[in-house]
Structure 1
């Protein structure tokens, strides 16, 4: 069975358990565990899930097949924030490859592209903070986000204001870091050993420049590096990832053999496969559609494939993962979620509380 198939089974089990326990799921849980759902009618990307949602969400989103798909998605995003008081919907934003470069356009160019799209009806016309749930299955990847797995904002409720027309939101948070180095090449699931070796070379080179302390540099390369690439969790959402995966990571890179005590009765090829499968399954899911990066403070992360040097790493109150934002004059555009090791468990909020002069609370206008 393919790794993605195992992930879908885990998601189905999680959904069943929640419905049996509570009678419904939070919209955060639904979106986090149904990334690869399929549908023929775009409106059903929302309507098909309402039966599993909370009564408040069902009341806020009446089923109307004459509705505009764009307005429906904005309504869902708005209701999600208002009802659950979090910003985990931002994790569902996944910009398509052919729209990634447009995040760099100025406002006039952006409006021209959006107008052309409306005429062509080739893509949804949405603010950068509203997920496009109509994207084809093959162009979506699994979310890093899992409910109750990460705690970047330490449980702080979202502080959000919607502009008139809901084309933008103003969200409170902390600008904790910026992207310093982005690894250009994609992680190749068919060439795992080569990909990991190349990634480690980039991590080592960047760390030698950004981290002065030798002991800390060695620690981040030995532990932080592999934990970052798997989002420091298992496929089922358990965090942190098990310590024994450190050995599986070295085996995957060809540095050490499979331990002698592991299923010695099996053939070498089978022993190798069984030993590394749990790690590689999560590694493939976490790295799909993402790139490895290093921050200016020397932290490791994985984030949207179209991110670049200088993009902001922000902890928005109410979001369980750090978000990557790009500034445009008086506002920001959302690129997507990220996993940054040593920022996904509330460290950014702690920096704000302890060093407010260096990490002040800010208001981010996101369009």
Structure 2
């Protein structure tokens, strides 16, 4: 999708919503327009409740302006999870670091998205698109969402498995203001030593080449469905054999002419059009913005994309009701509890493979 298409996407979606108000889905709409400002930040939730009335459904909750902003956002997050019966809302968490750290960040549960955080329209579009792409994954296989009963609104009890640790240094972050920065992708490729290890087995899987795992990680295994995408979000899961030429043609277009070392593993498909390359670049940009690459060599040998504020020592978990893995960090304030850093793409455990790697137990988020 072209940059112009990305810029027009929210306007097109708004028009679709206007024409088909009966199918307007409030949880997704809240996040698509999170970059819009309002006088009272609680209205970023309450302002959409009237749309439920337009749809002739009873509002899920009546506005209560006696509540703090952080409590309104926490309760709304619980409501969204209960409505969807899955954890897609966790894919709307922005990094809790500059420029996204806000005046309420420290008072907000780590599992509740901060709608007051700085987010340019492009950030809203990218995060929304990543959320719609969750349908392509199923990291918990048949795991069904189970929310434990807790009196404290700021604690969320879920069931899941700790399956790994980010046990190595991470690649440099790709912040929102460096979206689609080819220099960062080049640095990641060197960090992962891709061109030296391209044909080696990935994570002990003899049928997966290390280099193929890397390029699929860059796009989170999401590629355009065909050359002329006519429907917004028309994407599919990548196939190493069928789509490597698309990646290699894209990467070739970014390299300087004198960089022969970076070209040695490329398989250029000269039938790939500039339009297809642009669409693939869009998939990469959406997958990598506000994230960083990790390459874990001590435990499972995984690589993946994690939030830009993830750190060495953070844990990887698959949680019932989630379609992707999540990055957790032991809470400093609440022993035995976890802070949610954000969602992740981990190549090789996006389709339920991680379920066998850990014992299912309560994961208490604060």
Query: Which runs of no fewer than 5 residues in structure 2 stay unpaired?
Result: 225-232, 256-262
CA distance in 2, matches of 1:360, 1:214: 21
1:145·1:321 contact (CA, 8 Å) conserved in 2?
no
Q: 1:151 to 1:51 in 2, by over 3 A?
A: farther
Q: How far is 1:294 from its partner? A: 2.0
Q: TM-score, normalization: structure 2? A: 0.74
1:57·1:79 contact (CA, 8 Å) conserved in 2?
no
> Could you say which structure has the higher helix fraction?
1
CA distance in 1, matches of 2:300, 2:18: 42
CA distance in 1, matches of 2:112, 2:56: 20
1:151-208 Cα offsets, whole Å, 9 max, x none, are: 222353211124222121121011122213343423455751x433321222237996
In structure 1, which of residues 145, 159, 178 is the aligned counterpart of residue 131 of structure 2?
A: 145
In structure 2, which of residues 350, 354, 357 is the aligned counterpart of residue 348 of structure 1?
A: 354
Q: TM-score, normalization: structure 1? A: 0.74
1:119-158 Cα offsets, whole Å, 9 max, x none, are: xx56562111111112122395632332523222235321
Q: What is residue 290 of structure 1 aligned with on the other side?
A: 291
Q: What is residue 130 of structure 1 aligned with on the other side?
A: 112
In structure 1, which of residues 222, 226, 242 is the aligned counterpart of residue 211 of structure 2?
A: 222
RMSD, aligned CA: 3.8
Q: How far is 1:60 from its partner? A: 2.4
Counterparts of residues 98-247 of structure 1 (less than 5 Å): 98=98, 123=105, 125-138=107-120, 140=123, 142-143=126-127, 144-146=130-132, 147-187=134-174, 188-189=178-179, 191-192=181-182, 194-204=183-193, 216=205, 219-234=208-223, 236=233, 238-241=235-238, 243=243, 244-247=245-248
Q: 1:201 to 1:37 in 2, by over 3 A?
A: same
In structure 2, which of residues 37, 47, 52 is the aligned counterpart of residue 39 of structure 1?
A: 37
Query: Which runs of no fewer than 5 residues in structure 1 stay unpaired?
Result: 102-116, 264-270, 352-357
**SS of the counterpart of 1:145?**
helix
Q: What is residue 308 of structure 1 aligned with on the other side?
A: 311
* Residue 281 (structure 1) aligned with residue 282 (structure 2): yes
**SS of the counterpart of 1:309?**
coil
CA distance in 1, matches of 2:223, 2:29: 19
Q: How far is 1:67 from its partner? A: 4.5
CA distance in 2, matches of 1:132, 1:348: 29
